[in-house]
Amino acid sequence: MLKLLSAAKQPGRRTRKEMSFLRRLICQGRALLKEYQLFGYHRVINNNGQKDWRFLKIELNPRGKAISGGSAKRNAPSPSLSMPELTSSIARGNGTAIRPNSPASTLQWVGQEVRKIFVNNILSRVTTNEQIAKQTAQRLMYGDSRPFFALVGVSLAAGTGGMLTQESEFDNLCWEIRESMIKKQKARVSEIIVPEGTVSVKDLKFGNLIQQGCNAAVYSAEWANNPSENANSEPLAVKMLFNYDIESNASTIFRAMVREIVPARHVSLNNINDLDRGIFDTVKRCPPHDNIIEITHAFVDQIPTLPGGIEKYPSALPRRLNPVDGLGRNMSLFLVMKRYECNLSEFLNSRREQLNFRARLLIFTQLLDAVAHLERNGIAHRDLKTDNVLVDLSEGEESPRIVLTDFGCCLADRSNVLKLAFRSYDTERGGNAALMAPEVSTAVPGTWKSISYEKSDVWSVGAMAYEIFGDANPFYKNQSLGKPLDSRNYTEGDLQPITGDVSVTVRNVVSALLKRNATERLSGQEAAFICHLHLWAPTNWLTRTKSPDDDEIMQWLVTLTTKALCNGSTELQYRLIQNFLRRAKFREIKSAAEWIANSNDV
């Protein structure tokens, strides 16, 4: 914002169209400041210690910093505020405590003042006790938002009419909700103890083979040099990628397997020179999320002798470990992560009859949350299947926490956001052909052709929903279903509704995710919000054909926020609520409620 505003003072560097936009932006910004009384005449104390009227204003110097100043007015309006009153008036939203000619640090300060005015205007409608309003506002500004949301929630529940009258006020209150959740989750620390410095194979003590696939083997592990810490840390797992044809060089291996480290928190660069470290700038890094695997360390090292290697994957070993059948190279990529009990496919198959609808809905919602997080960060997984979802059962089978793993096929290029140039059929389109979205599986190559992956992952989640809610996946071979559906030529009429104890809303969401036309498909964020409403909103919202009004939605949001803030539990349901509220935007939540009502009306 500062750069845009300051650029208006340099017309030689901008086109006429850009200058017009910048001028409109400045005018709108000044109008907003004037609306919240940051512009205007106020009585202040001048440099001589006398009371005077000044027109307080915010301008920008050539460096882009905000400064405040003022000019005297000969015919000042009738006195209304003295300097002490002006200083305290910010608590009532009636003015601003800017002294003339005092520099403000940035426009962020202005935003904070506007926030104070909004908060105190809301509190003035909630309570007539000025002392309570003042203390609540002060606690909110210092990070404790519980009293504020408690007061607002009680007022909304009591049916106070006209407390929020404009859509912008609903949006601002949602902003306060998001900020309170971000502050609550800001101190997120990994539960895994990580030794200082770089990591290598020598720092780990490998255990039994957990799982082995075509491209990697996963072992249980613990820190070799920190035996006292292993008792207090989460159990570890190490994924060793198979390397058949990549040169045994750290830079070359990272360049070829760079997509595997998209969710990595730390990458050991001990074997990489400074010139080759630019390879990590070609892909995006996925920010932390509760439902995305957290790879604590990624490093390249010599492949060691590990239990079960000769029996399970002899050809992947190098000749120095398997002189007869070894086809692998000496070095490969290792990923350190938390160990999980099982993958989602194993979990669902072993508990097909015992798992209730709510537990299945929790899994489905978490999976949509993970995909929505990838969408927001311009990343497509492209290999979604129940084998690539891990399950944490530390809170019991009724509250399974899931994480999305295996990013080896993901699209995370910084240059092309969720689009892939498709010039020939040799281009890799993804890992799982059976659950490949129609727009991907039917794409035809060409000189200027590209594939959009904006809504490809949610289509895969829609297909996985059949497995999650206890049915057979119609896109997989199954004796009970006969010939499987093909994403290239299926019609929406070919899809049978999910059977069993499943709500109408969930059936409608799954149908909307499996639309052949991507433009008609729900996004991950939209589908996740609908499922969150299904889990936490009043039950009658799911059955009525008229969506709740604005006050009802805000009352529910504030009540849910107060509950999440006052309960310090780290249980799955509270973590889900917090993740939902930190993304809460009034328009999107209202759209989700309207979608549910409209789907019930069909």
Tokens of 172: 């601002």
> Crossing angle, helix 572-581 and helix 550-566, to 10 degrees?
130
CA 237 to chain centre: 25
DSSP string, 145-182: -HHHHHHHHHHHHTT-TTSS-SHHHHHHHHHHHHHHHH
H or E stretch at 224? none
Q: Which of 116, 121, 66, 70 is nearest to 96 (CA)?
A: 116
Tokens of 303: 């492949």
| Bridge partners, 211 (sequence order) | 218
Contact present, 437 and 514 (Cβ < 8 Å)? no
| 471 is an active site residue | no
- What's the rounded Cα separation, in Å, for the pair 267 and 198? 8
Contact present, 338 and 236 (Cβ < 8 Å)? yes
DSSP string, 50-75: -EEEEEEEEEE-TTS-EEEEEEE-SS
Q: Which of 310, 59, 296 is nearest to 196 (CA)?
A: 296
- Strand segments, DSSP code E, in 165-314 are 204-212, 216-223, 236-241, 295-302
Contact present, 466 and 472 (Cβ < 8 Å)? yes
Contact present, 430 and 422 (Cβ < 8 Å)? no
CA-to-CA separations, 211 to 19, 237, 308, 315, 338, in angstroms, rounded: 60, 10, 11, 17, 14
Of the listed 369, 383, 406, 413, which one is catalytic?
A: 383
Where are the alpha helices (H) located in 282-343, listed in sequence order?
A: 309-312
Contact present, 564 and 145 (Cβ < 8 Å)? no
- Strand segments, DSSP code E, in 285-359 are 295-302, 331-338, 342-343
Q: Which of 504, 526, 402, 507 is nearest to 465 (CA)?
A: 507
Tokens of 130: 């000025």
Among all residues, which ones are annotated catalytic?
A: 383
